Amino acid sequence: MPNNQFKRGELYSVINGMASIAVARRLQKNFRQAGLEITIEQWSVLYHLWKEDGLSQQELCNRTFRDKPSITRLIDNLEKQKLVKRVSSKEDRRMNLVYLTDSARELQDITIGLANQTMDEALVDVGKDDIEVVKLVLQKVYDNLK
């Protein structure tokens, strides 16, 4: 087979592969080293609740790009760890609204600090302009495939 068939495929591994996995692992490691027992997936849910508390599970699906079963189980686990509470909505009884507990609110500053530190570690020697290009391209990729 012609070898150039692989050339474009490399792009897949670049965009999809190493970098995002490496960032995720480093963030998880930074959490662990700080003695925090939450997963990055759980953190990504809390992150959206810190910005706006009391979101429905469906809204969390939209904002975290996950499907409904994934959110159901993430909330299950967060509830077990007493970080969130499901409250069934009074306007629409199909909906659960998800609220932070006090212990979750305590995690906000330190974990966001660790996330920022992780991105600083990841972006050493990367120019601001280049970062902007990456953000725009990845946003465009997402829009293209949505």
φ, ψ for residue 86, nearest 5 deg: -85, 130
Surface-to-core class of residue 126, CB atoms within 10 Å of its CB (0-12 exposed, 13-18 middle, 19+ buried):
exposed
- Please give the DSSP secondary-structure letter assigned to residue 67: -
Residues 19-38 that bind a copy of itself (CB under 8 A): 19-27
Half-sphere exposure (CA, 13 Å, Cβ side) for 33? 10
Shortest Å distance, C-beta 83 to DNA: 11
Shortest Å distance, C-beta 144 to DNA: 17
- CA atoms of 97 and 113, how far apart (whole Å): 27
- Binding of residue 11 to a copy of itself (CB under 8 A): yes
Residues 43-102 that bind a copy of itself (CB under 8 A): 44, 47, 50-51, 65
Rg, the chain, Cα only: 18
- Please give the DSSP secondary-structure letter assigned to residue 99: E
Count, residues near a copy of itself per rule CB under 8 A: 57
Query: Binding residues for DNA, per CB under 7 A?
Result: 21, 25, 28-29, 39, 41-42, 56-59, 61, 66-77, 86, 92-97
* Interface contacts to a copy of itself, rule CB under 8 A: 1, 5-6, 8-9, 11-27, 44, 47, 50-51, 65, 108-109, 112-113, 115-116, 118-126, 130-131, 133-142, 144-146
